[in-house]
Structure 1
């Protein structure tokens, strides 16, 4: 029988992100793909692990309508699709206005003083496994908001020694060799900007036998 997607519902909305969740009344799916257009009208595609039932979409613009299509994939084919429309929240000024700066009337937003948008953050997407062997793992990630100058992958080897793998800022995947079979590893990927760790994502894997 064909797998079936349940409703795509909104769990949270901010000025720059939305949380979505869905059910799988009949399944399973191998993976999911979320598609939408960004504020510039460019199509975006977010691959999602088949075990997930929710996703947070960062990097959106305030007070804007978005349409999200979630596809359920099996055997490399799109089997089912669900769609939802959302409008992101209005951006709020970071600091409350001083009394002298308050607009004269509450119903004339045009008189409110403009505020500076905060500098764009750099944000890491989910750290996902693209392949596993007994002695290596290939990891991939996205950068919904960026850029980062570089990345750093940290983990402990089979002897418990900390390892750090520097990665070029343009990369979106890395292969980690020299692992031991049938062993659990936890990988932390840090995004660096200005020499500082700005964001971190983590994933646990078990190597092949």
Structure 2
């Protein structure tokens, strides 16, 4: 609310006033000066646009393993200063993680197998919390090591890529049979040579694999698991 004075050169015909507050009414008074004397002023009243507050749109989970998982979220409108993630750790103690405002995903580690977790995420702006988004999920009960001989009648079919970018691929499949899978296993080899394995809930029929390298060929293999039995595997190759 303090008065501001800005001297301008005599040939200036426009000026950008910055660092104003959103949604606030301002009154501007302009004088011309000749030999130290003011002319009759002209005035203008202007209201700045209201800012669109940021809003958390969703919280989703991927890469669920027996001891870890990945959370990701989306924000609409403006930007948050930071995020606050709440959940209980493997011992049941409340845990708080403060995350940077530009962050959109986090990997949660040191979880217990087969345990249900509830995650609550807030956006923080000016020290105030936004409306929370929540998610409940369960870690994989155990490391399943099925034998290839113990196969299932239920099977996966039509395994293929549906969308490919320079660093990601969307893979889809269908399930045939009356016995639903508990888990679907996706495996692929990273450029460094390591094998990456993702466990996907048995009712899912697609996955978006991110973090790939551009202009690389990847081979993906998928099979379903029920108890200690596994389905026949399917494979497909993708070029990013």
- Tell which structure's C-alpha radius of gyration is larger: 2
Same fold (TM > 0.5): no
TM-score (norm 1): 0.43
TM-score norm. by structure 2 comes to 0.38
